Chain A
Amino acid sequence: MTLVRKITSLFAGAGMLVAASGAALAQEKTVKVGLLSDFSGVFAQLAKDVEDAWMLALEERGGMVAGYKVEIVKEDSENSPQAAVQKANKLIKSDNVTIFGGSISSGVGIALAGVADKEKTPYVAGFSIADALTGKFCSPYVARTSFSANALQAAAGAYWAKKGVKTAVFMGPDYAAGQAMLAGFKNGFEAAGGKVVLEELTPFKTTKDWGPSLLKAQQTGADMIYTFYAGSEAVQVVKQHAAFGMQEKMPLRGAMWIYDEALWDAMGGVEIGAIHVTNYTNALDTEASERFEKAFEAKYGRLPVASNAMGYTNAVAIFDGLAKAIEDNGGNLPEDKSKIIAALASLKLYSDPRGPVHFNSSNNAMQDELYMVQIVKGDDGKPHHKVIDTLPYGEDLPGCNMQ
């Protein structure tokens, strides 16, 4: 099927295209939604998690929004901004999608925000947590359903300082996201009286050994190490930290990426006892999260993880935003597509599995509170999350200047 689509689109000249879309209108009202995510590369698992959540959200809506049939067009951004720009152009110009979302990488997100703004086609970031996405690069065509780096990390920093942690070492990859995470954590931690005594930024994707950095951290005698790593780098840092016998003296903490459920197997048990901040866990027992858990488990036979929940918010915001925009426009898609983002940003998602979610003036998602979780061994002998505390959500950095 997809091949046929390719070939027809290859030969669909400008003239034929108009005729074809006219014919489609006569049959049924369809709205095309692009799912553009990093299906290959280091974020492939997260992208898959987002896709699963999208399909669940679509199924729950019977495949329809406000009388329009939803057609999902999936593309792979390969964790590469260049590829992402190319695929976004394809979605917009060849597939004629009305809106697209799902991105994981921050670099991809920033590149897509540029395309969305230029092509006046709405884009809703799924992860892509760089502050600049809804800061410097904010646009009436761009929204984000996850959070900004600062909102999460400043909250975590403040939490730990208030818990009596006086000094911390920050370790992270030396690239934009790592630097943003560091800045966020430092903001919150130092404002609440803590002190970051060492900022250890390791070469991104080329570091082969964390031994030197861990030894340096040991030298400082700080109360804890706060980190931001993901994927295989996270596995290596956590394992080596344990191998150096540092778990007791200088615990390794961070946000959900460093101890992601998908990595537990590869960590081989050293993750037990670790504490990290997250914006969703399947250990939550609110009504909304229980409902989501049940629905997800019924469809996929496993419990949802944080990236599923983020994908779910992403899909729900897109579908319900579309529905609202269509209803507001008397049952038709609005010509001015920024109205879709405006409708989306006015949503109040009270029954989001993460907890109530709303949007701020730069179209970025805000949720009521975050969760501090610990990884514990369950009765089945397998690791589980346990919610040990909640903490208030942080602030976005200023910088958005939307006309």
Chain B
Amino acid sequence: MENTDDDSWHPLVEGDESRHDPMDRAAARDQRRFLTIALIGLAVLIALPFVVGDYYVSLFSEILIFGILVSGVNLLLGYTGLVSLGHASFMGLGAYVTAIAASLLGYPVWLSMLASILISLLIAYGVGLLSVRTKGVQFLLITLAFGQMFHAIAEKTRFTGGDDGMTNIPRIDLGFIGLDADQDRVFYFFVLVCFVVAMLILRRVVESPFGRVLVGIRENEKRMLAMGYTTFPYKALAFGISGMLAGLAGSLWVQHGFFVNPHIMTWELSGEALLMVIIGGSQSFFGPVLGAAFYVLAKDLLSEITEAYLMFFGLIFVLVVAFFQGGLAGFASRFAERFLNRKSDGGEDKP
């Protein structure tokens, strides 16, 4: 394989300190901006279930679950510059592990969720080790190939009901704090907690020296190699973390619908995840979540008018790739900047 003159895990970024000083102000501003958006967003998400109807509570649970998935996808796409068409299979993996552990083997759901997270991390890391030696189109196709193989295994497995899938999968037991997760508002808050934890972990990852190496790989991998980084283990780990988030999303998804079948592992869902990331904005931390919200809500609205809603998403997607590379998030931040310039101080709204 290529460029593995030094196979040791490189001690992370020794140039870190020197880079710290000049970037200080920018970093602080970035941090403040992140906190503002995060807190306003969180306030909105907490208030939401008290103002919208029951159905929309469950729809917003779905948005948060997809939000976890696509934020993971974006760790690869936006931060590392790798397009994966196989992430649905890790979501499916997480879903199946929870379903099998909780429903067939009778383990408590929280334990099954941990198993989902751990197993999808390990398997995604393994797939990552094999895949990230390639890039570009080859990478897209190798992830597709692995995804399709996982899908085929799910179709063929009889004890999980094959194509029929499994039903009546329990949700997490929140009895110890006196709550019943079968109620959609309670489950929404459980998903929200998972979402916040996932986002915090992801933020830690991209803020860390590790995350900066990923960005460096995206910007110019040759330069990173020349600087002495063995990029391959970084990319593999990024793939693993991204698969782990997909696994968590899958574990929540199966509880959300009480149901899983191999449909969740099709590459079309991986494609839809890409749509969400790109429409939302792959260059921004929260962009993909915004994309997920837009996708789910717009689909819900459009499906009232026509079943051919794919046409609209395809078109929006094409336009975003062609003309608005920042996606919705880029749009919002440009709008906010103009607003900030007019008024000296003001919060940024998370649309």
A and B associate in one complex: yes
Main secondary structure on A side of the interface with B: helix
With both chains docked as a complex, state the minimum distance between the C-beta of B155 and any C-beta of chain A, in angstroms: 7
Whether, in the assembled complex, B264 has its beta carbon less than 8 Å from a beta carbon of chain A, the answer is yes
Partner of B167, one of A39, A89, A111: A111
| Residues of chain A contacted by B168 (CB below 8 angstroms) | 114, 117-118
| Residues of chain A contacted by B163 (CB below 8 angstroms) | 107, 175-177, 204
| Residues of chain B contacted by A118 (CB below 8 angstroms) | 168, 182, 258
Whether, in the assembled complex, B337 has its beta carbon less than 8 Å from a beta carbon of chain A, the answer is no
With both chains docked as a complex, state the minimum distance between the C-beta of A325 and any C-beta of chain B, in angstroms: 24
Please state if A86 and B62 are interface contacts (CB–CB under 8 Å): yes
Partner of B164, one of A40, A78, A130: A130
- B36-44, B48-56, B340-348: which lies at the A interface? B48-56
Whether, in the assembled complex, A171 has its beta carbon less than 8 Å from a beta carbon of chain B, the answer is no
Main secondary structure on B side of the interface with A: helix
Given the complex of chains A and B, what is the CA–CA distance between A175 and B151 in angstroms?
13
Given the complex of chains A and B, what is the CA–CA distance between A175 and B257 in angstroms?
22
| Residues of chain B contacted by A110 (CB below 8 angstroms) | 164-165, 167
Whether, in the assembled complex, B180 has its beta carbon less than 8 Å from a beta carbon of chain A, the answer is no
- A2-10, A297-305, A340-348, A358-366: which lies at the B interface? A2-10
- Supply 15 further A-B pairs (C-beta < 8 A) apart from A17-B54, A81-B263, A175-B162: A9-B55, A9-B56, A10-B56, A13-B53, A14-B50, A14-B53, A86-B58, A86-B59, A89-B58, A90-B59, A93-B184, A111-B259, A115-B258, A175-B163, A176-B161
Chain A contact residues, CB within 8 Å of chain B: 2-3, 6, 9-14, 17, 39-40, 44, 76, 78, 80-82, 85-86, 89-90, 93-95, 106-107, 110-111, 113-115, 117-118, 130, 132, 137, 174-177, 179, 204
Whether, in the assembled complex, B304 has its beta carbon less than 8 Å from a beta carbon of chain A, the answer is yes
Given the complex of chains A and B, what is the CA–CA distance between A14 and B258 in angstroms?
24
Please state if A11 and B307 are interface contacts (CB–CB under 8 Å): no
Partner of A93, one of B55, B161, B257: B55
Determine the residue in chain B with the shortest Cβ distance to A38. B307
With both chains docked as a complex, state the minimum distance between the C-beta of A182 and any C-beta of chain B, in angstroms: 13
Partner of A106, one of B50, B51, B55, B164: B164
Please state if B54 and A107 are interface contacts (CB–CB under 8 Å): no
Whether, in the assembled complex, B4 has its beta carbon less than 8 Å from a beta carbon of chain A, the answer is no
Given the complex of chains A and B, what is the CA–CA distance between A14 and B168 in angstroms?
27
Given the complex of chains A and B, what is the CA–CA distance between A111 and B264 in angstroms?
13
Closest 4 CB pairs of A and B: A94-B55, A175-B163, A93-B54, A114-B167
Please state if B53 and A12 are interface contacts (CB–CB under 8 Å): yes
Determine the residue in chain A with the shortest Cβ distance to B163. A175
Contact with A along B151-172 (1 / 0, CB 8 A): 0000110000111110110000
With both chains docked as a complex, state the minimum distance between the C-beta of A123 and any C-beta of chain B, in angstroms: 13
Determine the residue in chain A with the shortest Cβ distance to B161. A176
With both chains docked as a complex, state the minimum distance between the C-beta of A79 and any C-beta of chain B, in angstroms: 9
Q: Can you report 27 residue pairs joining A to B where beta carbons are below 8 Å apart?
A: A2-B304, A6-B300, A6-B304, A9-B55, A9-B56, A11-B51, A14-B53, A17-B53, A39-B307, A81-B263, A85-B259, A86-B58, A86-B257, A89-B184, A90-B59, A93-B55, A93-B58, A106-B164, A107-B164, A111-B167, A111-B259, A114-B168, A117-B168, A130-B164, A137-B167, A176-B164, A177-B163
